[in-house]
Amino acid sequence: MNDRRRPELPSLDDVKAAQARIAGHIHRTPLLSSRCFGEPIGARVFFKAESLQRAGSFKIRGALNAILRAREAGRLSARGVLTYSSGNHGQGVALAARIAGCPAVVVVPEDILDIKRAAIEGYGARVVLCGRTSEDRRVRGEELARETGALVIPPFDHPDIIAGQGTVGMEILEDEPSVEAILVPVGGGGLVAGIAIAAGALSPRVRVYGVEPDSADSMRRSLDAGEPVTIPASKSIADGLRAVRPGDLTFAAARAHVAAIWRVRDDEIRAAQRALLERSKLLVEPSGSAAAAALAAHRQELEAKTVAVVLSGGNAEIEEIPPR
């Protein structure tokens, strides 16, 4: 994965291969109906509960697919793997490395949530603290990889990562073929890219919408500009969605396959997080709640439709969920 040749976007066949590769190691998460979220907007709403996934988020899918595929190709050595992450991808890589039997190093922000750092270390990976932005972590991670010879497992901008995340879209349409819209949180864009590629190939009538914090809208701004752009660092509560730049591949996938990118405020994310806990009994982190936060604001686009909302992660610190 240190190969500098420009990779291509994965195909539906790549997503299917990823599904077969990782199936014995991950949970097939439930697709849960939600009347309390659906009735107010006049839609049938389902939640894809990746908050219940191993390592607490969808990230294990892409990380495991990338590491197992590297092992199949003979690119995985005793030097192990290295990644850079705000937390969830780091947990996914740490667990995937444990499954594959190799060491892992994860470069994380200095302000990483305690629950995420503890999980990464609990899976046996070594944590390196560096800066507060995704670019800080990437630069330090690539330096360490050159020094150690570890294989870099990037957080979103690689075909194997995107293909692994695309298995979320395959499961949604296998469980509920009538789905017409899928709402997906967007950070670097690996999840929305994979889902859009898979869903578009399986059911061309499905429209995929990405959802970003309004202060961390690098994908929306990039699409508006016609090319990937870098934005200032964000302080959004959705720490997993604060990528300052989308990947080249994920941008290309979004431009080709994503219907629109919607923005939500932090207060809307918090309200959705609280409602998910109180009404749906699901503990979801702020980043994982972003797509649910977009339901009410975009009811006109979603009314009378069958909608799947991806709850991308559940690594939340309970004391941070404010009371009403």
CA atoms of 73 and 57, how far apart (whole Å):
26
Strands 207-213 and 126-129: unpaired
Catalytic entry in 34, 134, 289, 312 = 312
Place of tokens 């997080």: 273
Residue 276 tokens, joined: 């998910």
Q: What is the dihedral of CA 271, 273, 274, 278, to 10 degrees?
A: 130
CA distances 78 to 3, 44, 81, 93, Å, are 19, 49, 9, 16
Which residues are within 8 A (CB) of 105 and not within 5 positions of it... i.e. 6 or more apart? 80, 81, 82, 83, 125, 126, 127, 128, 144, 148, 150
Question: What length is written for the chain?
Answer: 324
Catalytic entry in 48, 51, 59, 280 = 59
312 is catalytic: yes
Q: What is the C-alpha R_g of the chain? A: 18
Q: Which of the residues are catalytic?
A: 59, 312
